Amino acid sequence: MTADKRVDFTVSAATALRGRLRVPGDKSISHRALMLGAIADGRTRIEGCLDSEDTRATMHALRLMGVGIERLEGNVISIEGVGLHGLTAPGEAINLGNSGTSLRLLTGLLAGQRFDSQLLGDESLMQRPMRRITEPLQQMGANIRISDAGTLPVHIIGKARLKGMTYTMPVASAQLKSAILLAGLYASGKTCIIEPAVTRDHSERMLAQFACVPTHDGGQICISPQSLRAQDISIPADISSAAFFMVAASIVAGSDLLLEDVGLNPTRRAVMDVLQLMGADITLEDEREISGEPLANVRVRHSRLKGIEIPVRLVPIAIDELPVLMVAAAYADGETRLRRAAELRVKESDRIRTMCEGLRAIGIDVEECRDGMHVRGGTVAGGTVNSFGDHRIAMSFSIAALAASAAITVTDCANVSTSFPEFAGCFRSLGLPIIITGARDV
* pLDDT at residue 4 tops 90: no
Give the mean model confidence (pLDDT) for residues 76-85. 98
What is the dihedral angle through the alpha carbons of 275, 253, 372, 153, rounded to the nearest 10 degrees?
90
**Residue 5: what pLDDT?**
72
Give the mean model confidence (pLDDT) for residues 297-307. 98
**Residue 439: what pLDDT?**
63
**Beta carbons of 42 and 230 less than 8 angstroms apart:** yes
- Interatomic CA distance for residues 107 and 119, integer angstroms: 8
**Residue 3: what pLDDT?**
47
- Interatomic CA distance for residues 240 and 131, integer angstroms: 26
Catalytic residue among 261, 320, 390, 412, which?
A: 320
pTM, to two decimals? 0.93
pLDDT averaged over the chain? 95
Q: What's the pLDDT band for 1 if we cut at 50, 70, 90?
A: very low
Give the mean model confidence (pLDDT) for residues 307-320. 95
Helix or strand (DSSP H, E) at 322: helix 322-331
Q: What are phi and psi of 420, to 5 degrees?
A: -145, 65
Ordered by where they begin, the domains of the chain are: 8-25+236-437 (3.65.10.10), 27-231 (3.65.10.10)
Give the mean model confidence (pLDDT) for residues 266-292. 97
* pLDDT at residue 12 tops 80: yes
Question: Is 41 known to be catalytic?
Answer: no
Give the mean model confidence (pLDDT) for residues 280-287. 98
Give 321-377 pLDDT, tens digit per residue.
999 999 999 999 999 999 999 999 989 899 999 999 999 999 999 999 999 999 999
**Residue 2: what pLDDT?**
41
* pLDDT at residue 441 tops 80: no
Q: What are phi and psi of 217, to 5 degrees?
A: -135, 110
Instruction: Verify cis geometry, omega within 30 degrees of 0, for the bond prior to 196.
Output: no
- Count of other CB atoms within 10 angstroms of residue 82: 18
Give the mean model confidence (pLDDT) for residues 274-290. 98
